[in-house]
Chain A
């Protein structure tokens, strides 16, 4: 089977020349459809840069990146936008909702950029919000919701367009422990429902929730292990 994500010899070098910074140093990684991977690393390890690459927010200095069979490592801005829209659902640490839009409008955004018509869009957005348990909060604006609820809106937004990859960057970083558990439970459910979830974190405790843990240090992959603690059913308590 072809991997969903295939990173080959990826380098990202900032300030090329004497003071160059090798944020990513010859990284190779394959992630298959349906995996739940945590990418863990301390700040400065290069994990954020790696997440930008995986999320098609940036292109590598060298190396290849095949996403869903397409080489995206040499694409231009507009092509990357289209790929992000189609292939990736982002969940950010800071939620990144648009403040003057309601929950349902926020969830509709990626669908607007995909060109989905108004009715279908609304239907999909409502479904996604119901999936994260926010069916009753659709008309609320971000500042009328708690952090946990905002992050659930962000998850709904990430899954609304049904992208193959869900990329969560420190999704619980701004949340209290109860909300964090909720969010992780939802991510696990997404995984169980067959989605590919990539979780980026610095927290071992969070990383331990994933099926596979990739440890990044100094721009290199230090370890890549299957998580022995991972159990399919364990999130049900949440």
Chain B
């Protein structure tokens, strides 16, 4: 056991005796490990951010219900009465309709294209909207189809130059009809929002209105293609989906026809996450190749070192070093080199991940690196494995030298 300590000591002595060369040898490993760690951490960070944002939007428990092609052919659209019935279900917290139309408005600031979204009062809770001023429209507003609207603070500024606009009205023109809508509330973006809710210059201004108020423009419209259902907290979205489908099938007498289809956001997110993982893994794999190249670099230097130190090996053998002693000494040397390189790589990778995330964040998206202990441990273990693996050949070469040949060579 104590012999081990001696070989490690010898290895360290040698590494320290050639500091510059040791550092250069480690460089490949350092870069390899650093890039793997940085890429994995940034990928993880992006994933975390995406998940948390989708979660903020109420995404996780949400299911998307839509009409199949058959239902459309049979004109079995979802109706307002269906909406109300679904809202009444035990497992359902609320629904979102997202019935989108285009319109225009003219304000003191100019002409604007509008994206008018007809929806229910549940939207605020479901999308976790933060109100900056005023309040969201209510059940009564929806029931009576009142001409009220909600908009974001950014859009309010674009329209009016200020976001304190509660109580003001705007003229909404849609299909040639103009109606005055009263502004009930102004929402604001949660900080750290990026992927989903991002306002560009030139994007249409978005107004959220009670979906019932759209009849003013488009007549007594009662054919809806889709809706989003938000299940009660803690309820498996599968159960909610079953209940909703059952209800729709009952109301349309379409049991077994597969008229109404379900997509759960959870599944979607999983697909997205899986895709991101694949991309991250792939890039890490490419970075891993640099680790391999780094390992070959270590092997090269160790081979050079064996050749240079042939005489030393001969001396050691003549003094009684066994094949295994020489082998362990050289193996320890390459393992320490790569292990040390691994540690430096981890530090560099972590710093790099933070640096790159800062860079990304400064361009508007907010990503914090997700450094995982298992990634770090894996990288360390891998770099040590690389050291041992690539150290094996030079070490064997050194250990197999015959002492006379080794002593004779200069």
Taking Cβ atoms with an 8 Å cutoff, the residues of A that contact B are 52, 55, 57-58, 77-78, 81-82, 84-86, 90, 92, 96-101, 109-110, 112-115, 117-118, 157
The 4 closest A-B pairs by CB, nearest first: A85-B320, A113-B320, A100-B17, A110-B319
How far is it, in angstroms, between the C-alpha of A98 and the C-alpha of B406 when the chains are bound? 13
A101-B13 in contact given A109-B316, A113-B322 (Cβ < 8 Å)? yes
Q: Which chain B positions have C-beta within 8 A of A96?
A: 311, 314-315, 318, 407
A82-B320 in contact given A58-B404, A96-B311 (Cβ < 8 Å)? yes
27 chain-A/chain-B pairs, Cβ below 8 angstroms: A57-B404, A77-B323, A78-B322, A78-B323, A82-B320, A85-B319, A90-B318, A92-B407, A96-B314, A98-B315, A99-B312, A101-B13, A109-B316, A109-B319, A110-B319, A112-B3, A113-B316, A113-B319, A113-B320, A113-B321, A113-B322, A113-B325, A114-B320, A115-B2, A115-B3, A118-B2, A157-B319
Please tell me the size bucket of the interface on B.
20 to 34
Q: Which chain B positions have C-beta within 8 A of A99?
A: 312
Complex: chain B residue closest to A89, CB-CB: B319
Residue contact B320 to A100, C-beta cutoff 8 Å: no
Complex: chain B residue closest to A161, CB-CB: B320
Complex: chain B residue closest to A116, CB-CB: B2
- Min CB distance B317 to A, Å, is 6
Q: Which chain B positions have C-beta within 8 A of A77?
A: 322-323
A84-B13 in contact given A57-B404, A96-B407 (Cβ < 8 Å)? no
Q: Which chain B positions have C-beta within 8 A of A84?
A: 317-320
Which of B6, B325, B403 is the most central at the interface, judged by chain A CB atoms within 10 Å of its CB? B403
Contact with A along B189-222 (1 / 0, CB 8 A): 0000000000000000000000000000000000
Q: Which chain A positions have C-beta within 8 A of B315?
A: 96-98, 109
Contact with A along B124-141 (1 / 0, CB 8 A): 000000000000000000
Residue contact B13 to A100, C-beta cutoff 8 Å: yes
- Min CB distance A173 to B, Å, is 14
A55-B312 in contact given A113-B325, A115-B2, A115-B3 (Cβ < 8 Å)? no
How far is it, in angstroms, between the C-alpha of A117 and the C-alpha of B325 when the chains are bound? 16
- Min CB distance B370 to A, Å, is 44
- Min CB distance A154 to B, Å, is 10
**In the complex, B14 has a CB within 8 A of chain A:** yes
In residues 295-331 of chain B, which contact A (Cβ within 8 Å)? 311-312, 314-325
Q: Which chain A positions have C-beta within 8 A of B2?
A: 115, 117-118
Residue contact A81 to B321, C-beta cutoff 8 Å: yes
How far is it, in angstroms, between the C-alpha of A96 and the C-alpha of B320 when the chains are bound? 14
- Min CB distance A60 to B, Å, is 13
SS of B interface (majority):
helix
Complex: chain A residue closest to B13, CB-CB: A100
Q: Which chain A positions have C-beta within 8 A of B407?
A: 57, 92, 96
How far is it, in angstroms, between the C-alpha of A86 and the C-alpha of B311 when the chains are bound? 21
- Min CB distance B5 to A, Å, is 9
Residue contact B316 to A57, C-beta cutoff 8 Å: no
Q: Which chain B positions have C-beta within 8 A of A110?
A: 319-320
Residue contact A52 to B404, C-beta cutoff 8 Å: yes
How far is it, in angstroms, between the C-alpha of A81 and the C-alpha of B317 when the chains are bound? 7
- Min CB distance B37 to A, Å, is 34
Of the candidates B312, B316, B322, B403, the one whose C-beta lies within 8 Å of that of A82 is B322
- Min CB distance B227 to A, Å, is 77
Contact with A along B391-410 (1 / 0, CB 8 A): 00000000000111001000
- Min CB distance B209 to A, Å, is 82
Q: Which chain A positions have C-beta within 8 A of B17?
A: 100
Complex: chain B residue closest to A77, CB-CB: B323
How far is it, in angstroms, between the C-alpha of A182 and the C-alpha of B407 when the chains are bound? 25
How far is it, in angstroms, between the C-alpha of A109 and the C-alpha of B325 when the chains are bound? 12
Q: Which chain B positions have C-beta within 8 A of A114?
A: 320
Q: Which chain B positions have C-beta within 8 A of A58?
A: 402, 404
Which of B311, B317, B324 is the most central at the interface, judged by chain A CB atoms within 10 Å of its CB? B317
- Min CB distance A214 to B, Å, is 21
Q: Which chain B positions have C-beta within 8 A of A81?
A: 317, 320-323
Q: Which chain A positions have C-beta within 8 A of B316?
A: 98, 109, 113
A98-B312 in contact given A84-B320, A110-B320, A117-B2 (Cβ < 8 Å)? yes
- Min CB distance A178 to B, Å, is 26
- Min CB distance B401 to A, Å, is 10
How far is it, in angstroms, between the C-alpha of A118 and the C-alpha of B6 when the chains are bound? 9
Q: Which chain A positions have C-beta within 8 A of B314?
A: 96
Q: Which chain A positions have C-beta within 8 A of B402?
A: 58
Complex: chain B residue closest to A97, CB-CB: B315
